[in-house]
Chain A
Amino acid sequence: MFDDHLRKLFIEALGETLFLVFGTGLFVLVIGFIIGFLLYASEADSLFGNKTSIKVFHRILATINDVARSIPFIILLILLIPVTRILVGTMLGARAALPALIISASPFFARVVHMSLREVPKDTLEALEAMGASSLIKLKVIFKEALSTLVSGYTLTLVTLVGFMSAAAVIGAGGLAYLAYEYGKFGNNYPLMYLSIATILLIVLIIQVSGDYLSRKLDHTIKKQEKNK
């Protein structure tokens, strides 16, 4: 059913997919985190104070972030074709999808980070303030408190990324989705198509299950008994 050539093709595509998920995942983690943190810090009264310049900064950052987030991925992909040509030098293969994926998923994750940090109760911050905690310690505690939601938010982002990648496949970016699309569309190798799709689903499943597990492990707001149910 699969000759050596196809097998090689599949392995390559799998490699590309993993490279895309975790490569973009890493970029998105860093960029999204920074933007999300800045959104949070420029909004809370206690961290940077209540100056007008901070408020303006927050407004601008939030607007850019929301605009970037609301452009549909497939449109962004086409929009970025010239930029991608300059940056990556090609419109084909896995690397060509990188800019669009990063620009699309980072604002999404930034909002997730922003929301998670905001969920840390003001009461907790007041207690830290009353203890005379420095800003550094306050931030450490805020992150520790938000970690569980951050992890589940990141899981959500990674799963969304896999979806984006499948869309990118249509314009020629590589990976398993591209393989499924190419071999499925022309109907010449259904088994390969199904194998590719199954592998994508498996990747999603692994991300989701391990993300959920980790998030639950870090969550200390739910009682142990309830967790085990």
Chain B
Amino acid sequence: MIELKHIHHMYHQKKTLNKVLNDVNLVIQEDEILGVVGYSGAGKSTLIRLINGLINPTQGDVFVDQVNLNTLNHQEMNRMRQSMGMIFQHFNLVFSMTVYQNIALALSISHYPKEKRNQRIFELLDLVGLHDKAKRYPVELSGGERQRVGIARALANHPKYLLCDEATSALDQKTAKDIVTLLKDIKEKTGVTIIFISHQIEIIKDLCDRIIVMDQGVIIEDVKAKELFTKPQSPVTKSLIKSLIYDPMKSEKNIYELIYDHKNSDSMTLSDMIKRFDVDVNIMFAKTLELKDETIGYLYLQIEGDKQSEAISFLKCEGVEVNLYV
């Protein structure tokens, strides 16, 4: 379990004080895939670096498995880091070492038993699907393959936590999806707790059980993935979600956004509403989003008629989220 308690972080830059994190409190349970999303400058990168002590908070405490990182000396901190893996946006591999040597480096840092290293390296290469690339240098690999090496290296010492810092942001969409699939697969096989930060909500939604939205150094939402997409609270969340859905409406009136999950999709809610309240419905746009274990539908309707507000209440009673758009 990782706990962040009253974390403040700031730094001075040319006499101005920059507040990066402002009273952040967070508990990360074992076994979950936590997504942290937000625009750049929200404090995500700082947040993830607090967990393995790459950044020390100006104020507040970080506990990893009940150990306060502030109390660790340099060597103890290094040992703690060996039990965590981290992957990066630009992979950060050692260029002068082969794939094999890059993974071996992580093992030698942790004094992994020498006679078992070779076997462990090939286990890892199998896990990430790079068995035949052991002797290649990073420069000879594609971006996706480099990130796979990064993942293998991060998992070398059987870490309990895997920290992912914008791990898919430098990859094209398809490769990014492949990496997400791989991470889910690894989660299944090893049970590692994954903390994944990204500005790409489309990646987070495929991967995470629980999502945190950050803005200007503050956690503004902390909910289950489904809830974030069905009941977004803050404007930042809404605009992040909107970036996933094309926005064709300009000045039309009475546009409503209906958000529903598979429970609603079985019944004839919409046609019931039309019959009962005698309203006119015009479908503007529709879109579905695939979450990790769920599908969410977004439907944009123009609803007009005398009993318009009753119709909306009816939809809400049926369990559909309805928001006035525009």
Main secondary structure of the interface of A (DSSP, over half): helix
Interface positions, chain A 132-166, Cβ under 8 Å from B, are 132-134, 137, 141, 144-145, 147-148
Beta-carbon nearest neighbor of B79 in chain A = A132
Count A-side interface residues using an 8 Å CB cutoff. Answer: 23
Closest to B83 in A: A132
Provide the A198-229 mask, 1 if CB < 8 A to any CB of B, else 0. 00000000000000000000101111100000
Contact pattern, B 60-85, Cβ under 8 Å of A = 1, otherwise 0: 00000000000000000111111010
- Asked if residues B96 and A223 are in contact (CB atoms below 8 Å), the reply is no
Answer whether A126 and B92 are a contact pair too, CB < 8 Å, given A221-B139, A224-B140: yes
B97 with A144: CB separation less than 8 A: yes
Number of cross-chain contacts by CB at 8 Å? 69
Give the nearest-CB partner of A138 in chain B: B109
CA distance A58 to B95 in the complex (A): 29
Quick one: closest B residue to A222, CB to CB? B139
Q: Check A132 against B138 for contact (C-beta < 8 Å).
A: no
* B134 on the A face (CB < 8 A): no
For chain B, which range describes its interface: under 10, 10 to 19, 20 to 34, or 35 or more residues? 20 to 34
Q: In the complex the two chains form, what is the Cα distance from A133 to B82 in whole Å?
A: 8
The contact of B109 among A121, A131, A145, by CB within 8 Å, is A131
How far apart are A151's CB and chain B's nearest CB, in angstroms? 12
Residues in B neighbouring A218, C-beta threshold 8 A: 96
Question: Shortest CB–CB separation between residue A137 and chain B, in angstroms?
Answer: 6
Residue of B nearest to A137 (CB): B109
**With A131-B82, A132-B79, A223-B140 in contact, do A124 and B109 touch (Cβ < 8 Å)?**
no
A129 at the interface (CB under 8 A from B): yes
Q: Output the nearest chain B residue to A130 by Cβ-Cβ distance.
A: B86
Residues from 69 to 125 in B contacting A, C-beta threshold 8 Å? 77-82, 84, 86, 88, 90, 92-97, 105-106, 108-110
Are A220 and B54 closer than 8 Å at their CB atoms?
no
Q: How far is the CB of A132 from chain B (nearest CB, A)?
A: 3
6 of the cross-chain contacts (CB-CB < 8 Å) are A123-B92, A127-B92, A130-B52, A131-B105, A145-B94, A147-B96
